[in-house]
């Protein structure tokens, strides 16, 4: 077979690989063993596995996304790919961080918790930056636009895993009425059939031929969809699974096409056929490049045609390594030695025969004590059955410590596990959801029994196909294993280590130390040592850790239990999670009908909820925000200003019982209120705290329109709906949001009446005909507008409600008619300043959910004669009427040139010099503060303890440094306390 | 992520709904006539059992209707859904799902992945 070569770069050097190679396969093809440096000790690390379980071979892909921590054993190469090793400096071969390995006695379990305790400030400024530089993995990507999409499925059956068991299940469903999804994480179906040479014939055909026919049959059935390169990461409640499909396998990024598809699958039945994972054995220096799991080695031979080493040493505690032995000898290679911890009489005849036939040195009842070598394995040291150490030169050691059913997804589904004494592993016991486990994930390691299992577990489905499958195996059928988690080994030097978690550099010594220090619960022990907390989640090692810990604690493994398996099964890219919800699609942006005008007038925008609101308008390029706000605020009180208030929430309330309902929702009384008038109203929660404010306009007793604050529009409507539906369903009342049906202009200032009279020359705006807080509807062109006389600035003011289609023209018309008066458009910042001068509150700025109307001096808004309204009873609770509650007051600096900062503390003490011995009593905090151009000094509002009784006294406000500002406590009403400007 | 059967729209994803806390907490008829303690119990105090819980839900991103549901809080199984104003189903209807005194079921709570036989 001639294949075209694919060229890629690893750490600057060019290598050639074959089509379909993973980075690891291609590097092994080129005899590259050293791939990266470890997390903590910076030890040299190589390729340990051949799949998703890889703890060591993490690399960085250099491209637009700069993907870090990519498993070299999963990611396929493409032409021109640039790969870099991680966590090393200055280079992979000479890494200065490896000094940590010599210093390792101080890096033991709980090192971070114990070491970096002080002095104050050191964590933030010294330790953390230092640790971040030396520890850790790859570099995070730069900002980029996600090209991932989400896809939803509603199906009958999902089959997770396209190996032999998954294929048999799919074969049963092919052509039936069930809607089935078959999900395979690799780019080909077959699983172990492709990885190892365990099965000679299926139904008298070579395994590959059977596989091809089966896939064709499944593909041609119209009820099964096959997803390849798709990893199921999550198994949620209600049989909801999440799977990640990689659309760029073996291809460079394509900015036009989606890179990942996140499949969200809702299914009726989940068939888990996701197989097993081989585990390792701990010995001295079991992390050296050149140590590899046996089944992974075999996978490189069979799937990629790569021979990682022609004469490795094989070390096992079970019967599965026969097939590796067979695959190697079939290729004409001869292993250096075969080391099995079992007695010769327990080792399968097939294996012994093969060893004898090829004259391979055989060490029964022996174990690997350790490995020697600096950057890769040079020698292994074998403890023979006579307890003698025998050293063999080799550059590779294949290890098999047994197999774990891949129970991650099963436990995510909240199924229970049990310990299997013969397989020496946890396997599924009781299901919680509609889960079926098939094959090795269920703990069935026997091909002969597989068909029986499939037939039995799928018997509840009706109308499935009959299946006849006959296997002819190459090796021993029965799986045999002897317990071994860690071999006996001696510490040779500071450099010698025996790892239990390769990615997080956790040693078996750390486990012992943690238990000694009292962390004898597995969940605590995991967090203290960081065992199995890497990106690989301890896939090849976590059960080994349980085995070792159970020995230390002298408990059964099932008593030790497992740690909790949580989604995702393996890391999921943020870009896949985000999908299309990024940048402009992250959250809807709402713009008022006047937005284009604002842009033309150089508005600087502020986000208020989802709305874009003008914050202030820049008159010239070099005008600062402060200058603009001062100019706008001054002009409003001098002549007139206009604000785009379209974002205000507007709710229409109708129904026979509308009056009763509005009386219950708001504190004020609306019963005696005349039609066509409005009222400033407060909405409370049942706890008596201010929830929202707005203006309630009464058209008649059956019809109201209320406004809400911009940010609370949705929650106020929801609050009303809740009470209408759950508490008072007997009331005949309906409400609807009309926020977007009207644009709102707030015209304000001494000249606003004359402007209004010019714009609407047929309407009489005199105080008698159009008094404060009255409104009416008027014909305007082909539509109707509503004008309300109200004010949030303390000046004479009008609110105009106009359908959005007419908004821009009317807005421009107002400017044309106000040329003589220098009408100024103003933004939210000026609105805040003007209302603060009047002492008007902003819900959410001057209140925070712990503030009652009484605290705000708004007693006059409470309809005390009303029998009930939401929150009324709470206003007479003992805690609410307490005089020492925090209450709203005004603050004016004694030195009028000083400014007060929002959020600063109000205190009684002037001196704040260090050292501060006793805690300083905080009376409250500054909620609003502005420099008033109309008063020419700062004005502020604050919530302070017992504030009402403190009016007239002198207090202090803290500042950024240790100074304080002396302030006078005043009524929160700085301009025109008698409201003469507003109601004239 | 579980699904909820809205009594008006049918089975939908949990993300369409908002939880409204304990159900069947009646607002006192005459708040002025009750003590501070009784009122604050209505406003602030809610049951929080591990096991069977009667609670309110609203189909926020759907029909916006409120309804009641019975949920096992340790497994997130929705055991029953019924409309506002309908009588709550008696607790004994769900008795079999509570296996231990604390209300934790044998399988599904996720507190342990291995149980001693």
- Give the whole-number percent of chain A exceeding pLDDT 90: 83
A727 CB neighbours in chain B (<8 A) are: 27
Cα separation, A577 vs A321, whole angstroms:
39
B2 CB neighbours in chain A (<8 A) are: 236-238, 240
Upstream peptide bond of A61 is cis (omega within 30 degrees of 0) = no
A927-966 pLDDT, tens digit per residue, is 999 999 999 999 999 999 999 999 999 999 999 888 899 9
- Residue contact A729–B85, C-beta within 8 A: yes
Choice among A605-619, A745-759, A900-914 with the minimum mean pLDDT = A900-914
- Residue contact A414–B2, C-beta within 8 A: no
The shortest C-alpha distance from A417 to chain B (Å) reads 5
- Residue contact B40–A721, C-beta within 8 A: no
Residue ranges in A458-521 assigned as alpha helix (H): 508-516
The shortest C-alpha distance from B90 to chain A (Å) reads 20
The answer to whether A855 and A886 have CB atoms below 8 angstroms apart is: yes
Task: Say which of B3, B42, B84 has its CB closest to residue A726.
Answer: B84
The shortest C-alpha distance from B14 to chain A (Å) reads 10
* Both structure tokens of A291: 């140590």
- Collapsing DSSP to helix, strand or coil, A5 comes out as strand
- Residue contact A236–B1, C-beta within 8 A: yes
B67 CB neighbours in chain A (<8 A) are: none
Cα separation, A291 vs A396, whole angstroms:
6
Number of residues that make up chain A: 984
Average pLDDT along chain A: 93
A671-717 pLDDT, tens digit per residue, is 999 999 999 999 999 999 999 999 999 999 999 999 999 999 999 99
Chain B residues interacting with chain A (CB cutoff of 8 angstroms): 1-3, 13-14, 20, 27-28, 31-32, 34, 36, 39-40, 42-44, 56, 58, 60, 64-66, 75-76, 84-85, 106-110, 112-117
Provide the terminal-to-terminal Cα distance of chain B, rounded to the nearest Å.
Answer: 30
pLDDT of residue A114: 66
Mutate to test the interface with B, among A152, A154, A238, A588 (most CBs of B within 10 A): A238
pLDDT of residue B98: 47
Cα separation, A900 vs A941, whole angstroms:
10
pTM for the full model? 0.87
- Residue contact B2–A240, C-beta within 8 A: yes
pLDDT of residue A136: 60
Cα separation, A37 vs B88, whole angstroms:
62
Q: What is the DSSP letter of A592?
A: -
* Both structure tokens of A892: 């004016």
A426 CB neighbours in chain B (<8 A) are: 113-114
pLDDT of residue A815: 97
Tell me what the mean pLDDT of segment A548-565 comes to. Answer: 92
Tell me what the mean pLDDT of segment A322-340 comes to. Answer: 96
Q: What band does A138 get if pLDDT is binned at 50, 70 and 90?
A: confident
A235 CB neighbours in chain B (<8 A) are: none
The answer to whether A134 and A97 have CB atoms below 8 angstroms apart is: yes
Task: Name the residue in chain A with its Cα closest to that of B63.
Answer: A721
Q: Which of A86, A108, A54 is nearest to A287 (CA)?
A: A54
Mutate to test the interface with B, among A427, A432, A550 (most CBs of B within 10 A): A432
- Residue contact A686–B32, C-beta within 8 A: no
The shortest C-alpha distance from B92 to chain A (Å) reads 22
Pairing mode of beta strands A397-400, A291-293:
parallel
Above 90 in pLDDT, residue A2?
no
Task: Name the residue in chain B with its Cα closest to that of A409.
Answer: B113
Task: Say which of A236, A414, A877 has its CB closest to residue B108.
Answer: A414
pLDDT of residue B99: 54
Cα separation, A733 vs A814, whole angstroms:
37
- Residue contact B116–A558, C-beta within 8 A: yes
The shortest C-alpha distance from A405 to chain B (Å) reads 14
A861-889 pLDDT, tens digit per residue, is 999 899 999 999 999 999 999 999 999 99
pLDDT of residue B111: 67
The answer to whether A593 and A804 have CB atoms below 8 angstroms apart is: yes
* Both structure tokens of A619: 């008159």
- pLDDT higher at A788 or B92: A788
CB burial of A354-378 (b: ≥16 within 10 Å; e: otherwise) equals: bbeeeebebbbbbbbbbbbbeebbe
A717 CB neighbours in chain B (<8 A) are: none
Above 70 in pLDDT, residue A204?
yes
Instruction: List domains and CATH numbers for chain B.
Output: 3-97 (3.30.2270.10)
Task: Say which of A266, A417, A721 has its CB closest to residue B113.
Answer: A417
Number of residues that make up chain B: 117
Q: What band does A516 get if pLDDT is binned at 50, 70 and 90?
A: very high
- Residue contact A564–B110, C-beta within 8 A: yes
Return all residues near A217 (Cβ < 8 A) that are at least 6 apart.
A171, A174
Task: Say which of B20, B31, B107 has its CB closest to residue A414.
Answer: B107
- Residue contact B66–A878, C-beta within 8 A: no
B44 CB neighbours in chain A (<8 A) are: 687
The answer to whether A848 and A931 have CB atoms below 8 angstroms apart is: no
The shortest C-alpha distance from B3 to chain A (Å) reads 6
Tell me what the mean pLDDT of segment A798-804 comes to. Answer: 97
Q: ipTM greater than 0.85, yes or no?
A: yes
- Residue contact B43–A878, C-beta within 8 A: no
Mutate to test the interface with A, among B4, B113, B115, B117 (most CBs of A within 10 A): B113
A274-320 pLDDT, tens digit per residue, is 999 999 999 999 999 999 999 999 999 999 999 999 999 999 999 99
A29-73 pLDDT, tens digit per residue, is 999 999 988 888 889 999 999 999 999 999 999 987 788 889 999
Q: What is the DSSP letter of A919?
A: P
Task: Say which of A558, A721, A874 has its CB closest to residue B64.
Answer: A721
Above 50 in pLDDT, residue A1?
no
A687 CB neighbours in chain B (<8 A) are: 43-44
Mutate to test the interface with B, among A721, A726, A729, A870 (most CBs of B within 10 A): A726
The shortest C-alpha distance from B103 to chain A (Å) reads 16
Q: What band does A915 get if pLDDT is binned at 50, 70 and 90?
A: confident
* Both structure tokens of A279: 């585990």
Q: What band does A142 get if pLDDT is binned at 50, 70 and 90?
A: confident
Return all residues near A527 (Cβ < 8 A) that are at least 6 apart.
A533
B10-61 pLDDT, tens digit per residue, is 999 999 999 999 999 999 999 999 999 999 999 999 998 888 899 999 999 9
CB burial of A129-158 (b: ≥16 within 10 Å; e: otherwise) equals: eeeeeebebbeebeeeebbbbbeebebbbb
Return all residues near A32 (Cβ < 8 A) that are at least 6 apart.
A10, A15
Instruction: List domains and CATH numbers for chain A.
Output: 5-100 (3.10.20.440), 103-132 (no CATH), 146-278+403-476 (3.50.50.60), 280-401 (3.50.50.60), 492-568 (1.10.10.1100), 595-645+743-835 (3.30.1360.120), 649-741 (3.30.70.1400), 883-984 (2.40.30.110)
Contacts across the A-B interface (CB distance below 8 Å): 90
Tell me what the mean pLDDT of segment A425-438 comes to. Answer: 94
Q: What band does A105 get if pLDDT is binned at 50, 70 and 90?
A: low
Above 90 in pLDDT, residue A650?
yes
Task: Say which of A414, A686, A726 has its CB closest to residue B110.
Answer: A414
């Amino acid at each position: 077979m001639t294949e075209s070569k694919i060229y890629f770069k690893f750490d600057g050097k060019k290598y050639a690989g074959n089509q379909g190679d993973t980075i690891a396969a291609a590097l092994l093809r080129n005899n590259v063993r050293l791939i990266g440096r470890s997390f903590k000790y910076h030890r040299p690390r190589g390729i340990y596995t051949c799949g998703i379980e890889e703890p060591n071979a993490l690399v960085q892909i250099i491209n637009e996304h700069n993907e870090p921590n990519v498993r070299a054993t999963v990611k396929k190469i493409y032409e021109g790919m640039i790969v870099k090793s991680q966590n090393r400096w200055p280079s992979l071969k000479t890494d200065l961080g490896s000094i940590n390995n010599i210093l390792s006695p101080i890096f033991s379990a709980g090192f971070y918790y114990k070491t970096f305790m002080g002095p104050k400030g050191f964590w933030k400024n010294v330790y953390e930056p230092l640790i971040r530089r030396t520890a850790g993995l790859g570099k995070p990507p730069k900002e980029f636009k996600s090209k991932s999409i989400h896809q939803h499925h509603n199906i009958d059956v999902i089959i997770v895993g396209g190996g032999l068991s998954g294929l048999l299940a799919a074969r049963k469903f092919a052509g039936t009425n069930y809607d089935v999804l078959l999900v395979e994480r690799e780019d080909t179906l077959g699983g172990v059939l492709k990885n190892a040479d365990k099965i000679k014939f299926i139904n008298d055909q070579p395994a590959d031929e059977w596989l091809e026919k089966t896939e064709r049959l499944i593909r041609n059935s119209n009820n099964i969809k096959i997803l390849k390169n798709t990893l199921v990461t999550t198994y949620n409640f209600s049989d909801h699974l999440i799977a990640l499909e990689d659309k760029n396998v073996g291809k460079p990024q394509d900015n036009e096409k989606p890179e990942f598809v996140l499949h969200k699958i809702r299914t009726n039945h989940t068939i888990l056929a996701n197989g097993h994972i081989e585990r390792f054995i701990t010995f001295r220096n079991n992390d050296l490049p050149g140590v590899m799991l046996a089944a992974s080695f075999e996978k490189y031979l069979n799937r990629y045609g790569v021979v990682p080493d022609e004469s490795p040493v094989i070390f096992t505690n079970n019967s599965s390594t026969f097939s590796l032995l067979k695959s190697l000898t079939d290729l004409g290679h001869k292993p250096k030695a075969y080391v099995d911890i079992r007695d010769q009489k327990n080792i399968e005849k097939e294996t012994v025969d093969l060893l004898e036939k090829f004259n391979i040195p055989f060490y029964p009842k022996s174990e690997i004590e350790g490995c020697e070598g600096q950057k890769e394995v040079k020698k292994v040291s074998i403890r023979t059955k006579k307890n003698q150490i025998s050293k063999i030169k080799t550059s590779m050691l294949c290890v098999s410590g047994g197999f774990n059913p891949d129970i991650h997804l099963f436990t995510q589904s909240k199924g229970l596990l049990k310990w299997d004494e013969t397989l020496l592993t946890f396997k599924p016991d009781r299901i919680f959801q509609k889960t079926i486990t098939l094959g090795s994930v269920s703990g069935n390691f026997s091909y002969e029994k597989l068909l029986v299992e499939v037939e039995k577990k799928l018997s509840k489905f009706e109308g499935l196909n009959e299946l006849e499958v006959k296997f002819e195996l190459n090796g021993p059928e029965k799986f045999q294993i002897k317990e071994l988690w860690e071999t006996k080994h001696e510490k040779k030097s500071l450099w010698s280590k025996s790892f239990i978690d390769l990615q997080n550099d956790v040693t078996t010594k750390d486990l012992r130390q943690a238990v000694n220090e009292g962390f004898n619960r597995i969940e605590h022990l995991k967090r203290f040592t960081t065992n199995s907390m890497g990106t690989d989640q301890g896939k090849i090692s976590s059960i080994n850790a349980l085995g070792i810990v159970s020995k230390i604690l002298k408990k059964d493994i099932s008593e030790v239990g497992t740690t909790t398996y949580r989604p995702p099964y393996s890391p999921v890219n943020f870009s896949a999670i985000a999908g299309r919800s990024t940048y402009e699609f992250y959250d809807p942006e709402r713009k008022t009908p006047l937005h284009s005008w604002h842009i033309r007038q150089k508005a600087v925008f502020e986000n208020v909820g989802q709305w874009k609101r003008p914050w202030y308008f820049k008159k010239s390029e070099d005008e600062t925000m402060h200058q603009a706000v001062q100019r706008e605020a001054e002009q409003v009180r001098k002549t007139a200003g206009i604000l785009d208030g379209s974002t205000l929430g507007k709710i229409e309330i109708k129904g026979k019982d509308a009056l009763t309902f509005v009386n219950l929702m708001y504190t004020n009384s609306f019963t005696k209120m005349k039609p066509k008038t409005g009222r400033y109203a407060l909405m409370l929660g049942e706890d008596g705290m201010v929830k929202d404010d707005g203006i309630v306009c009464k058209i008649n007793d059956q019809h109201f329109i209320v406004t809400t604050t911009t940010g609370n529009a949705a929650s106020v409507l929801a609050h009303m709906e809740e009470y209408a539906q759950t508490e008072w369903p007997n009331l005949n009342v309906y409400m609807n949001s009309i926020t977007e049906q009207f644009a709102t202009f707030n015209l304000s200032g001494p000249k606003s009446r004359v402007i209004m009279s010019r714009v609407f020359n047929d309407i009489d705006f005199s105080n008698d005909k159009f008094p404060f807080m009255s409104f009416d509807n008027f014909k305007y062109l082909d539509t109707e507008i509503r004008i309300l006389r109200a004010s949030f600035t303390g000046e004479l003011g009008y609110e105009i409600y106009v359908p959005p289609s007419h908004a821009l023209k009317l807005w421009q018309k107002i400017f044309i008619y106000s040329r003589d008066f220098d009408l100024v458009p103003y933004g939210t910042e000026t609105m805040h300043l003007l209302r603060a001068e009047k002492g008007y509150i902003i819900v959410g700025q001057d209140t925070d959910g712990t503030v009652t109307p009484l605290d705000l001096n708004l007693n006059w808004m409470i309809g005390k004669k009303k029998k009930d309204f939401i929150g009324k009873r709470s206003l007479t609770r003992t805690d609410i009427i307490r005089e020492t509650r925090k209450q709203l007051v005004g603050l004016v600096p004694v030195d009028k040139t000083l400014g007060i900062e929002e959020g600063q503390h109000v205190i009684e003490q002037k001196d704040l010099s260090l050292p501060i011995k006793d805690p300083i009593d905080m009376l409250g905090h500054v909620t609003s503060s502005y420099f008033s151009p109309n008063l020419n000094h700062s004005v502020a509002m604050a919530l302070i303890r017992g504030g009402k009784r403190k009016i007239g006294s002198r207090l202090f406000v803290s500042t950024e440094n240790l100074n304080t500002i002396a302030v006078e406590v005043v009524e929160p009403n700085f301009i025109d306390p008698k409201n003469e400007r507003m109601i004239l | 992520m579980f699904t909820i059967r809205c009594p008006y729209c049918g089975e939908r994803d949990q993300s369409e709904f908002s939880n409204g806390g304990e159900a069947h907490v009646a607002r006192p008829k005459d708040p002025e006539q009750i003590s501070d303690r009784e009122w604050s119990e209505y406003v602030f105090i809610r049951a929080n059992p591990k096991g069977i819980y009667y609670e309110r839900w609203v189909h926020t991103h759907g029909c916006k209707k409120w309804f009641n549901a019975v949920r096992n809080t340790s497994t997130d199984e929705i055991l029953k859904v019924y409309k506002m104003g309908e009588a709550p189903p008696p607790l004994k209807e769900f008795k079999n799902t509570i296996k231990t005194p604390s209300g934790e079921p044998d399988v599904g709570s996720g507190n342990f992945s291995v149980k001693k036989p």
